[in-house]
Amino acid sequence: MAVFFELSQMLVTSDRDSQNRLDLVAATHASDHHEQLVRAALEHERIREGAERELERLTLESLQVQKAKQEAELQRLKEDQLRRRQIEQLQLENARREAELVQFKQAEEHRSEDERIRIENTKRELLEKARREAQAKDRTIQQQKQIEQTPQQAPQQPTLAPAAQAPQPQLAAPVQAPLAVQQQQARIEPQPATATASGSTNSNVEEVHKGYLQLHERMKAFRKSFPKEFPAGHPTKPLVGDTRREMRLRMGQITTDRKDSKVTINRMRDILNKCLKSNGPPVDIRQYIVSSPIPAGTNDSNARYPALLLYAWICFGKSLVKQFEQEAASEDGKIIQELGLIAASLISDPNYAWNGISMKDILLAKYHKACPMLFGISGRMDTKEGQKRLGWMILSGVEPTANVYNQRMSGLGAGFAAMSLRSFSGKVPAISVSDYWLAIASICNTPPEALYGGHFMLLKGLTKDYANKFVIMYGRQATAVLRRAVIDLPARAPARAQDTAKVIDVLPDVWRTTFKLVLD
């Protein structure tokens, strides 16, 4: 039994040891399996995180590519839109140029007949002016003879003689250049400002200029003294101040909008109408007329003109010339064109004339003072007097500079062109086209030694924006004058003026592009 018990115990112990070994092996396998599962889980997590990062990278890359494509597409659309706009602008510009070309061709077709009619009208005008000049000269001669024969009566005629004599030189000078060119196929005479149909000479040009400078002095004295004639409380006193302020204010309000210009011109007409209808004192207008002969039979009683209206014209001329000078800083020149339109319309209005004679001499006197070169006057920059004759002057107490001077000359030339290249049905032009022609001709015939930069800046203003109108009016003759002005004249510019001569040397190319105008 004891042996059996021991054997049983050994079997139990052996089974237990075997079971323990099995349990240990199972535990070991379980531990290994758990570790493998943990490692597998970690590896899976690592792979998952790597996949997510890769997905994020691919997504970001895809978004970046998509964004780049969108930006490229947007840029392409913008460029396409810009190209379309440019194409549309070019098409509009081409259409405009084609329309201008058609209009120009149509004008060219009718130009021959228009030129013939214009030449006939000009000839009649010349004959009439020559007749009036001869009459004025005869009256002056007769008056001079009477003065010489009866010296004791001289004091009774001082106011009539200047009025009769002053118009003489101006009647001959302005019309010579167009007549010479019309009769000789656009060839500018060697001395357009010194020889006219009535035989006027350089002394006539100087005499006319002197007459206008004297008129300017009378205007200046009148402008300063007239407001002082009305004491405080006088009913006319406010109207005098309002006239001066309104003219200056309205002149500065001109824009390129034609509607605004109509409003402005109506307001200026209101000012002139108030001055016309005022009960202010009259003035003897004969001493303010230079370019037209005084009608026969005029005396102190019928030579009256509203003094307040004359004051308005003087303020108008002063503000207009100043505005021309200031607006020259703008290269497009459109405001100057509007100013010229308004000035020409008001000056040519017969409602403000005296015996059919407009107040254009008020404006011409301002021009003779500010820009004598327009009227054939020359000078030298190395003398004070010569500087005045070239329009180089102190303004508002400030010494001029080359830039300011050049801008002034350009603006004054453009303003003169804007006023003269106008025509209103049934009205006498404020400044005739013949005066415009003569201005260009006088500059073109200036000797090289007398040419300065101001001459070329003045030509720029006269022609840059107005060549097409000039050609439409005078055809081939005007083309020849322009060729002389912007091709021949710069070629003989002295060294001191060569830089400014280049300003007009490029105008033929500008006109070829803008107006389809060829000077060659």
Residue 334 lies in a domain: yes
For residues 169 and 248, state if they share a domain: yes
Listed residues 123, 146, 175: the one ending a domain: 123
pLDDT confidence bin for 161, thresholds 50/70/90? very low
For residues 111 and 180, state if they share a domain: no
Higher pLDDT among residues 426 and 296, named by residue: 296
For residues 114 and 213, state if they share a domain: no
Q: Which two tokens stand for residue 199?
A: 């035989």
Higher pLDDT among residues 201 and 488, named by residue: 488
Q: Which two tokens stand for residue 164?
A: 């009769």
Q: Which two tokens stand for residue 297?
A: 């039979």
pLDDT confidence bin for 164, thresholds 50/70/90? very low
Residue 440 lies in a domain: yes
The length of the chain is 520
For residues 89 and 233, state if they share a domain: no
pLDDT confidence bin for 168, thresholds 50/70/90? very low
Mean pLDDT over 194-216 rounds to 73
Higher pLDDT among residues 106 and 410, named by residue: 410
pLDDT tens figures, 363-400? 999 999 999 999 999 999 999 999 999 999 988 888 88
pLDDT at site 171 = 29
Q: Taking all residues of the chain, what is their mean pLDDT, rounded to a whole number?
A: 82
For residues 68 and 192, state if they share a domain: no
pLDDT at site 7 = 79
Q: With contact defined as beta carbons under 8 Å apart, do 134 and 171 qualify?
A: no
Mean pLDDT over 305-320 rounds to 96
Q: With contact defined as beta carbons under 8 Å apart, do 413 and 461 qualify?
A: yes
Number of domains in the chain: 2
**CA-closest candidate to residue 409, choices 358, 371, 452:** 371
pLDDT at site 470 = 94
Mean pLDDT over 178-194 rounds to 38
Mean pLDDT over 401-425 rounds to 92
Residue 427 lies in a domain: yes
How far apart (Å, rounded) are the C-alpha atoms in residues 175 and 391? 23
Higher pLDDT among residues 311 and 43, named by residue: 311
For residues 440 and 499, state if they share a domain: yes
pLDDT > 70? residue 155: no
Which DSSP letter does residue 487 get?
I
Which DSSP letter does residue 353 get?
-
Residue 41 lies in a domain: no
**CA-closest candidate to residue 172, choices 438, 463, 443:** 438
How far apart (Å, rounded) are the C-alpha atoms in residues 138 and 24? 155
What is the SS3 assignment for 96? helix
How far apart (Å, rounded) are the C-alpha atoms in residues 370 and 393? 8
How far apart (Å, rounded) are the C-alpha atoms in residues 434 and 426? 18
How far apart (Å, rounded) are the C-alpha atoms in residues 342 and 253? 12
Higher pLDDT among residues 34 and 122, named by residue: 34
Domain span at residue 80 reads 47-123
pLDDT confidence bin for 158, thresholds 50/70/90? very low
pLDDT confidence bin for 145, thresholds 50/70/90? low
354 bridge partner residues:
357
Q: Model pTM? A: 0.65
When mean pLDDT is compared across 225-229, 340-344, 421-425, the lowest value belongs to: 421-425
Q: With contact defined as beta carbons under 8 Å apart, do 352 and 369 qualify?
A: no
**CA-closest candidate to residue 435, choices 117, 211, 198, 192:** 192
> Which runs of consecutive H residues, i.e. helices, occur in 253-359?
258-277, 307-327, 334-347
Residue 29 lies in a domain: no
For residues 118 and 163, state if they share a domain: no
How far apart (Å, rounded) are the C-alpha atoms in residues 42 and 48? 10
For 213, residues 6+ apart whose C-beta sits below 8 A from its C-beta are 365, 368, 369
For residues 332 and 401, state if they share a domain: yes
pLDDT > 60? residue 479: yes
pLDDT at site 13 = 84
pLDDT at site 194 = 34
Residue 148 lies in a domain: no
- Output the domain CATH number for residue 369: 1.25.40.510
pLDDT confidence bin for 38, thresholds 50/70/90? confident
Which DSSP letter does residue 292 get?
S
For residues 224 and 334, state if they share a domain: yes
Listed residues 96, 123, 150: the one ending a domain: 123
pLDDT > 70? residue 297: yes
Q: Give residue 516's Cα distance to chain centre.
A: 20
How far apart (Å, rounded) are the C-alpha atoms in residues 154 and 273? 39
Listed residues 105, 123, 141: the one ending a domain: 123
pLDDT > 60? residue 87: yes
pLDDT at site 150 = 41
Rg (CA), the chain: 45
For residues 219 and 348, state if they share a domain: yes
pLDDT at site 332 = 82
pLDDT confidence bin for 304, thresholds 50/70/90? very high
Higher pLDDT among residues 4 and 422, named by residue: 422
For residues 273 and 225, state if they share a domain: yes
How far apart (Å, rounded) are the C-alpha atoms in residues 193 and 378? 11
For 518, residues 6+ apart whose C-beta sits below 8 A from its C-beta are 508, 512
CA distances from 220 to 188, 224, 283, 362, 416 (A): 36, 6, 15, 11, 21
Q: What percent of the chain has pLDDT over 70?
A: 79
pLDDT confidence bin for 137, thresholds 50/70/90? low
- Judging by beta carbons within 10 Å of its beta carbon (0-12, 13-18, 19+), is residue 15 exposed, middle or buried? exposed
Residue 352 lies in a domain: yes
- Judging by beta carbons within 10 Å of its beta carbon (0-12, 13-18, 19+), is residue 334 exposed, middle or buried? middle
Residue 417 lies in a domain: yes
How far apart (Å, rounded) are the C-alpha atoms in residues 306 and 217? 19
How far apart (Å, rounded) are the C-alpha atoms in residues 377 and 194? 11
Q: Give residue 149's Cα distance to chain centre.
A: 56
Mean pLDDT over 428-439 rounds to 88
For residues 273 and 405, state if they share a domain: yes
When mean pLDDT is compared across 2-11, 148-157, 159-168, the lowest value belongs to: 159-168
